[in-house]
């Protein structure tokens, strides 16, 4: 299985801040990396697929980058609705595996 490691596991930020979350894969996965947002009590929502492609309907303040083993999710100008938990997930190989999550809360 490909292990996915996210950092940090949690962070506190203010509205308007720029936030970057890192995801590291246990082996090279090219750009087969997806990012999700999950609000409490809700299903995850796909934000970015193929490492850097913004899913339809997702605000442009979200962006993704990276390839191989190191990936980033950046939120420019954090909005109140962005306080949530974020997960990375690799689709390079089965079993599909997720990172442990990064919780973004209000400072």
- The contact set with another protein (CB under 8 A) reads 1, 32, 34, 36, 42-46, 48-50, 55, 87, 89, 91, 94-101
Q: Which is nearer to another protein, 19 or 49 (CB)?
A: 49
Asked if omega into 8 is within 30° of 0 (cis), the reply is: yes
Q: Which is nearer to another protein, 75 or 102 (CB)?
A: 102
3-state SS class at 5: strand
Q: Which is nearer to another protein, 5 or 17 (CB)?
A: 5
The CA distance from 12 to 19, in Å, is 9
The CA distance from 25 to 58, in Å, is 24
Q: How far is the CB of 101 from another protein (least distance, A)?
A: 5
Structure-token pair, residue 45? 């929502």
Q: How far is the CB of 48 from another protein (least distance, A)?
A: 8
Q: Which is nearer to another protein, 17 or 96 (CB)?
A: 96
Q: How far is the CB of 61 from another protein (least distance, A)?
A: 19
Give whole-number Cα distances, 83 to 10, 39, 78, 88, 101, in Å: 11, 8, 8, 16, 13
């Amino acid at each position: 299985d490909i292990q996915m490691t996210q950092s940090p596991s949690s962070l506190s930020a203010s509205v308007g801040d720029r936030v970057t979350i890192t995801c590291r894969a246990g082996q090279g996965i090219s750009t087969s990396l997806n990012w999700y947002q999950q609000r409490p009590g809700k299903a995850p929502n796909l934000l970015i697929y193929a490492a850097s492609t913004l899913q339809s309907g997702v605000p442009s303040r979200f962006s993704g980058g990276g390839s191989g083993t190191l990936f980033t999710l950046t939120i420019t100008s954090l909005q109140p609705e962005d306080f949530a938990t974020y997960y990375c997930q690799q689709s390079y190989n089965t079993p599909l595996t997720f990172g442990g999550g990064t919780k973004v809360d209000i400072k």
